[in-house]
A and B are shown apart, each in its own frame.
Chain A
């Protein structure tokens, strides 16, 4: 089988898209699932000096299986540092040390604002979601935010029902009004159909690449705003043999990543 014909599942491709955004030496704050897999792919391929931390107080954990929560027992043995939320969220994150944060949400809009609080009216929610947790401070305080989302008209929105975690809020200049550095914020939205990147001027997400098997037309149809298409739009490069080897042999031999298939990441 040639490298271009490797078989893979969509969640593996999405994790690789996340990994490719991580640079060598980055400090990355991760949750569970995609972020951990993505950050580890980077660490085992092009970014051996990337280091991860969890908001629960852990830095440079050495888990023997993918963590199922940021408080997972497998994060304890072998970590370089275990402290408290005040240490990681207060000292490292608020202290401005963290380069990359991964976030996901039930609703994500074109400015990269994320809703994890409530669908519908806040006071009479149609669906009550968990709340911010660490998302809001991560979104506001890391240098580059990578967003994972399902690509449909329910999950992507022109405007989220509730801004739990601000992206570029309502466009250019909005972050500066709140004293936030203009050059920080959402970098990409990685969906199960495409990679959307944020325009440096308009702060709106545009179509950068479509995944193999998906088309520009299909993506436009499933995006609820007037999605701009990059003049350089191209197919997302599929996972390499090495990326797949790292996922399957080192990071996730139990194939826990397949649970994302059931969650619609196909």
Chain B
């Protein structure tokens, strides 16, 4: 049965107020079309997570849809600190989010533990740091120090994470949700497979036969997936290997806009509330910056190097 639907339908059916969301991406394959739709639909009280968050998480926080953030890091990369993130934590604008802090080792391990149904997972980071002194909404369940049952040494263990919904953007998927990626993965595979339901946003829908041409690329199998959305340029201003590059111009635009609360509101009005869907967003982009700028983001075409699974 096909799970293909619009982003509007996927977000409205599967993302509910108060849900715990894993949102994949690492500048590479950020599911921005879904981020914008969540903001447009005015979802509330979400808990969000992923390692190394960037402009998309900053935007969700600024838009006021986030209550809690299981975090390791948030910045705008070359554009500096996340302005909305700072306003929330420093000044309570639009409200102060609750933040539980881990690292780019422990958090992906917690997602892996969630995906694998482990009761907890030992990690070798965080010891000796003040990350152990600050506890937020997870309280004493942020971590425990136990005795290693094998050699008696003190061992830090952290809990598994099991998000209600994972949203990832991939290069291609079939209509049942077998989702394939190539390039930098971040914590996408573990985050997606840890979740109860997965929404797959993709550059193109391909047949099941095409998936089978290179099955090693599949990071999420169809039985985990509840919705497949074909959303070309769905990761813009992030990039998708083989499809388009990072849009540095737009990154700078977001930085400038989000410098002030008013600028950020105006940005949302123009790029999120002012467009109905991703198609309208791209249309608006082309009208504003010209087709040449848009075309300039496209990746060079390369047939690549075919793999063979013949025997």
Residues of A within 8 A of B (CB): 55-58, 68-73, 75-76, 82-86, 89-90, 93-94, 117, 122, 125-137, 140-141, 162-166, 169, 174-175, 177-180
Contacts and interface: CB of A to CB of B under 8 A. Distances in A.
Given A56-B26, A164-B131, 18 more contacts: A56-B186, A58-B184, A71-B184, A82-B185, A117-B101, A125-B90, A128-B85, A130-B73, A131-B71, A132-B73, A132-B131, A133-B104, A134-B72, A134-B103, A140-B127, A140-B128, A141-B124, A178-B128
Q: Please classify the interface of chain A as helix (H, G, I), strand (E, B), loop, or mixed, using the class held by over half of its residues.
A: loop
Interface of B: 26-28, 51-52, 71-75, 77-78, 81-82, 85-86, 89-90, 101-106, 108-109, 112, 123-131, 134, 153-154, 182-190, 239, 241, 245-246
Given A125-B90, A132-B102, A73 B185 contact: no
B105 A89 contact: yes
A58 to B, nearest CB: 6
Contacts of A175: 128
B208 to A, nearest CB: 25
Contacts, number: 165
Given A84-B187, A90-B105, A117-B101, A129 B129 contact: no
Interface centre among A57, A132, A162 (most CB of B within 10 A): A132
B185 A57 contact: yes
Given A86-B108, A130-B74, A137-B103, A164 B27 contact: no
The 10 closest A-B pairs by CB, nearest first: A133-B73, A137-B105, A71-B27, A137-B125, A166-B128, A134-B104, A71-B26, A130-B75, A85-B108, A178-B127
B31 to A, nearest CB: 14
Contacts of B74: 130-131
A125 B134 CA distance: 13
Contacts of A162: 130
